[in-house]
Structures are given as C-alpha cells and as structure tokens.
C-alpha cells in the first residue's frame, strides 16, 4: 500500500455475509477515526409544562428530580468516556465513541418516558434535538 493514510478492509471470498461484515467493519473504523478527530455531540432539550425538572450529574448517573412532580428521582446511566453538561433546559452529551454517546442519550430519553398516560397530552420529558 503506497498511501499510508488509508485503511483497507476486504475479505477473501466476497459472499453476501462477507460483504456485510466488510461494510460493518468499515463503518466502525470510519466512526472511530471521526470520533478521535472531531468527537460526537448530541443535544437534548428538557420539556415540561408544570413541574420544573431538575437535573444533576452525579458520577456515572444523571439524576432527574421532580419529573411530573414525582417524589422519587429517576436515574439515567452515563457510560464511561461520555461527558454530560446541563445548561438551563439544554443537555449536551459529548464523547469520542459514537455508540456510547448515542446509548447515553437514549438512556436519558428512556429515563423520562411516561408510562400509562397519553403521550399526546403528557409531553414532558427530555428529547433529542440534534446531533453533531
């Protein structure tokens, strides 16, 4: 290989499964390179109608207090290597691993999921508004 800035992924016999695996590995390598050079950022927004949501980052968990007036706080797990910053009603999730950043954002969103109530009426929660 003459160009030392290129990573080449190929299989001996390019059958259907091997083509799929080569594509998967290529995407993972591309995501790793982009993560180290640029990083990944997910932006989330708190939405509440009546009870103001309070957020605190405590170690490897995000504590969500006063969600829908509940007495017990909810917790969302923050994976290692991911930073969570809360500023007003905006939450920024950043890191170099795309999978960990996305999973942490999903953990936060799922922690504020409302069960047994109509989601068209009760729209409180934390939602993803952008990826960068």
pLDDT digits (tens, 9 = 90+) for 56-79: 999 999 999 999 999 999 999 999
Please give the pLDDT value at position 8.
Answer: 86
Burial class of residue 96 (count of CB atoms within 10 Å of its CB; 0-12, 13-18, 19+): middle
Do 55 and 96 belong together in one domain? yes
> pTM of the entire structure?
0.87
- Looking at the fold, whether 60 and 99 belong to one and the same domain comes out as yes
Same domain, 12 and 50: no
Answer yes or no: do 14 and 78 share one domain.
no
Regarding whether 58 and 97 lie in a shared domain, the answer is yes
- pLDDT of 132: 85
Q: Which domain holds residue 34?
A: 1-38
Q: Which residues of the chain have pLDDT under 50?
A: 1
- pLDDT, residue 53, reads 95
Same domain membership, residue 28 and residue 81: no
- At 4 the pLDDT is 74
Same domain, 64 and 78: yes
Q: What SS3 string covers 41-107?
A: EEEEEEECCCCCCEEEEECCEEEEECHHHCCCCEEEECCCCEEEEEECCEEEEEECCHHHHHHHHHH
The domain tally of the chain equals: 2
State whether 81 and 34 are in the same domain.
no
Say whether both 101 and 126 belong to one domain. Answer: yes
- The confidence score (pLDDT) of residue 95 equals 97
């Amino acid at each position: 290989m003459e160009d030392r800035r290129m990573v080449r992924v190929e299989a001996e016999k390019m059958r259907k499964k091997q083509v799929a695996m080569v594509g998967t590995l290529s995407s993972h390598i591309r995501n790793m390179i982009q993560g180290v050079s640029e990083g990944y950022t997910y932006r989330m927004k708190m939405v509440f109608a009546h009870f103001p949501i309070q957020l605190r980052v405590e170690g490897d968990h995000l504590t969500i207090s006063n969600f829908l007036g509940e007495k017990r706080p909810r917790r969302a797990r923050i994976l290692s290597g991911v930073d969570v910053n809360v500023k007003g009603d905006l939450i920024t999730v950043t890191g170099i691993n795309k999978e960990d950043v996305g999973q942490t954002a999903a953990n936060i969103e799922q922690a504020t999921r409302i069960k047994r109530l109509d989601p068209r009426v009760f729209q409180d929660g934390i939602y993803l508004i952008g990826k960068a």
